[in-house]
């Protein structure tokens, strides 16, 4: 049996795609947990589980991701985005497991106009961003931690921008979407593939585990308006999308105006090929069409 990989938050977008792709990596043994099987906010539970199963890698996909609700639920956000990370790190240290922690572009203030490097100064503008940054610091206190920041994550199922646009596009004839926030959509299946590839290469001895901060999103950039237009076209929704400024669509939490991430470090260190965001979206729609095909 190959090395063990513990996936937390397995019922989330990224966790589900990690599960779906695990069969392609027969040399690795995957373990899956979510809130119903392991409460990450309870230190003793985490220690007991990790000591019992002794994973070689821990991939933490669990997080509080309700960006606007976090402004009113900071305690809950800290529990999942900080305290849970501290517990996982402590358990990982006990058995010398490698720790891979998923973070976010929201640690930046969005004031740059060129892709963010891992070394750029962080300056989160929301409670969500602050708690994710605190989680990064907790992870990096352990010398076998890898942080992977990502942005605009979506997949074929679940609550995300793609499925929201498809639903609204079916319900409405017109829709306003902000055009002054730019970033890079990330298809969760591509990020999941990247994570499995990294672990597999380390397991085979092709690469070594290099701790630190990394960035991953699909290649290219767009605005939310651009993204929405492409979704409507692929989803064959007749809904007309209008571009608006963020000031016309106020939200409780401040979003970065620009959050494109540079992926050169992760591509160089692990030899990854990263698909373009629009090509990835086409593949997502191929899966959506299969998922929504009527059962005979």
Q: How far apart are CA 60 and CA 135, in angstroms?
A: 11
Q: How far apart are CA 32 and CA 188, in angstroms?
A: 17
Predicted TM-score (pTM) of the model is 0.96
Listed in sequence order, the residues at least 6 apart from 222 whose beta carbon sits closer than 8 Å to its beta carbon are 182, 183, 184, 185, 230, 277, 278
Decide: 179 and 272 in contact? Cβ < 8 Å: no
Q: Which residue blocks in 22-107 are alpha helix, DSSP H?
A: 43-53, 74-78, 84-95
Show the domains of the chain with their CATH numbers: 3-159+184-219+259-276 (3.40.50.720)
Decide: 103 and 159 in contact? Cβ < 8 Å: no
Cα-trace Rg, the chain: 19
Write down the pLDDT at residue 290: 67
Note the Cα 2 to chain centre separation in Å: 25
Decide: 164 and 232 in contact? Cβ < 8 Å: no
pLDDT digits (tens, 9 = 90+) for 243-278: 999 999 999 999 999 999 999 999 999 999 999 999
Q: Cα dist. 177→72, 75, 249, 285 in Å?
A: 24, 31, 8, 20
pLDDT digits (tens, 9 = 90+) for 4-46: 999 999 999 999 999 999 999 989 999 999 999 999 999 999 9
Q: Which two tokens stand for residue 51?
A: 């000591």
Number of C-alpha atoms within 13 angstroms, CB side, residue 265? 19
Decide: 256 and 106 in contact? Cβ < 8 Å: yes
Return the active site residues.
128
Helix (H, G, I), strand (E, B) or coil at 157: coil
Q: How far apart are CA 295 and CA 293, in angstroms?
A: 6
pLDDT digits (tens, 9 = 90+) for 72-130: 999 999 999 999 999 999 999 999 999 999 999 999 999 999 999 999 999 999 999 99
Write down the pLDDT at residue 294: 42
Q: How far apart are CA 34 and CA 47, in angstroms?
A: 15
Write down the pLDDT at residue 2: 78
Strand order in the sheet with 57-60: 28-33, 3-8, 57-60, 98-104, 145-150, 212-215
Listed in sequence order, the residues at least 6 apart from 42 whose beta carbon sits closer than 8 Å to its beta carbon are 87
pLDDT digits (tens, 9 = 90+) for 208-239: 999 999 999 999 999 999 999 999 999 999 99
Decide: 13 and 155 in contact? Cβ < 8 Å: yes
pLDDT of 296 over the 50 cut: no
Q: Cα dist. 265→78, 116, 118, 149 in Å?
A: 29, 11, 8, 12
Q: Is the dihedral of CA 223, 235, 64, 190 positive or negative?
A: negative
């Amino acid at each position: 049996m190959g090395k063990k990989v513990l996936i937390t938050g397995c019922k989330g977008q990224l966790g589900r795609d990690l599960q779906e792709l695990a069969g392609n990596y027969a040399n690795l043994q995957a373990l899956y947990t979510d809130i119903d099987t392991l409460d990450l906010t309870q230190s003793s539970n985490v220690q007991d589980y990790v000591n019992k199963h002794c994973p070689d890698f821990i991939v933490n996909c669990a997080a509080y991701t309700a960006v606007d609700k976090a402004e009113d639920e900071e305690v809950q956000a800290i529990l999942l985005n900080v305290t849970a990370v501290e517990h996982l790190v402590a358990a990982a240290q006990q058995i010398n497991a490698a720790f891979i922690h998923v973070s976010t572009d929201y640690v930046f203030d969005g004031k740059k106009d060129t892709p963010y490097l891992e070394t750029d100064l962080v300056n989160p503008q929301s409670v969500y961003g602050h708690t994710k940054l605190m989680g990064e610091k907790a992870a990096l206190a352990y010398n076998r931690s890898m942080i992977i920041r990502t942005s605009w994550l979506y997949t074929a199922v679940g609550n995300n921008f793609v499925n929201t646009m498809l639903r609204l596009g079916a319900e409405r004839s017109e829709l306003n979407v902000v055009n002054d926030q730019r970033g890079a959509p990330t298809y969760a299946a591509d990020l999941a593939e990247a994570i499995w590839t990294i672990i597999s290469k380390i397991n085979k001895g092709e690469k070594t585990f290099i701790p630190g901060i990394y960035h991953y999103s699909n290649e290219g950039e767009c605005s939310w308006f651009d993204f929405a237009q492409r979704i409507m076209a692929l989803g064959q929704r007749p809904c007309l999308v209008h571009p608006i400024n963020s000031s016309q669509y106020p939200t409780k939490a401040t979003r970065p105006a620009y959050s494109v991430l540079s992926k050169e470090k992760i591509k160089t260190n692990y030899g990854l090929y990263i698909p373009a965001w629009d090509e990835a979206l086409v593949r997502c729609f191929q899966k959506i069409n299969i998922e929504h095909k009527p059962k005979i």
